[in-house]
């Protein structure tokens, strides 16, 4: 029951935010690489804001669909908060989490494949790490997957991942990556 109340509160907060800020996406500044929006996602968010605004004004699904160029199925799903565009997921997150600490941004640990919809949990990360303490603060926020137990320390695992990234970065690329015959 508490989750339903929070979801309902979040719906009101989203509606209020869009009523006050319109299509402003400055909330993306609180996330890693500003949520990496592509033009399509920015356009979908603008339409989402239009749809929610018209719904608050009492427009029908059909009239809203005609006015915005969004299919009535999407109008229905968006106004019922069944679905939402990628940037609206980020808006939901910032309304639930609040701004990160100064000098940090939020990063979703899990995203869907393909559309990169953030699934959370979120951790606060620096835009650029300049010392070990910043990295250690990020590592402390990470939790093992349910049922998994760490054999090695987080610091060791970070070092291993860093080694892989550095090793792969040093490899030369040949071709365009489409030749799979090798």
Instruction: Give tens-digit pLDDT for 90-101.
Output: 999 999 999 999
**What DSSP state is assigned to residue 118?**
B
pLDDT in tens, 105-155: 999 998 888 778 999 899 999 999 899 999 888 888 988 767 677 677 778
Please give the average per-residue pLDDT across 151-171, as a whole number: 80
How far is the CA of 77 from the CAs of 26, 41, 51, 101, 148, in angstroms? Answer: 25, 17, 11, 34, 36
- The pLDDT confidence band at residue 66, using thresholds 50, 70 and 90, is very high
SS3 content of the chain, % helix, strand, coil (to 5): 55, 5, 35
Q: Which residues contact 48 (CB under 8 A, 6 or more apart)?
A: 78, 84, 85, 87, 88
Q: What is the pLDDT of residue 74?
A: 96
- The pLDDT confidence band at residue 5, using thresholds 50, 70 and 90, is very low
Tell me the CB-side half-sphere exposure of residue 140, using CA atoms within 13 A. 7
- The pLDDT confidence band at residue 172, using thresholds 50, 70 and 90, is confident
Q: In the predicted model, is pLDDT for residue 1 greater than 50?
A: no
- C-alpha span between 52 and 64 (Å, rounded): 9
Distance of CA 85 to the CA centre of its chain: 10
**What DSSP state is assigned to residue 137?**
H
Please give the average per-residue pLDDT across 51-65, as a whole number: 95
- C-alpha span between 44 and 26 (Å, rounded): 16
What is the secondary structure of 143-166 as a DSSP string? -PPTT---SS-HHHHHHHHHHHHH
pTM of the model: 0.79
């Amino acid at each position: 029951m508490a989750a339903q109340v929070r979801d309902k509160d979040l719906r009101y907060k989203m509606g209020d935010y869009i009523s006050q800020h319109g299509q402003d996406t400055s909330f993306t500044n609180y996330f890693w690489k500003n949520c990496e929006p592509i033009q399509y996602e920015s356009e979908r968010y603008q339409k989402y804001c239009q749809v929610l605004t018209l719904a608050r004004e009492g427009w029908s699904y059909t009239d809203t669909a005609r006015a915005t160029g969004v299919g009535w199925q999407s109008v229905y799903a968006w106004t019922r908060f069944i679905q939402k565009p990628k940037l609206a997921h980020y808006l939901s997150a910032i309304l639930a989490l609040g701004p990160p600490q100064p000098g940090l941004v939020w990063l979703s640990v899990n995203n869907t494949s393909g559309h990169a919809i953030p699934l959370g949990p979120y951790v606060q990360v620096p835009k650029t790490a300049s010392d070990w303490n910043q990295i250690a603060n990020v590592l402390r926020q990470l939790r093992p997957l349910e049922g998994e137990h760490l054999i090695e320390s987080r610091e060791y695992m970070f070092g291993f991942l860093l080694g892989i990234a550095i090793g792969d970065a040093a490899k030369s690329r040949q071709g365009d990556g489409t030749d799979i015959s090798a």
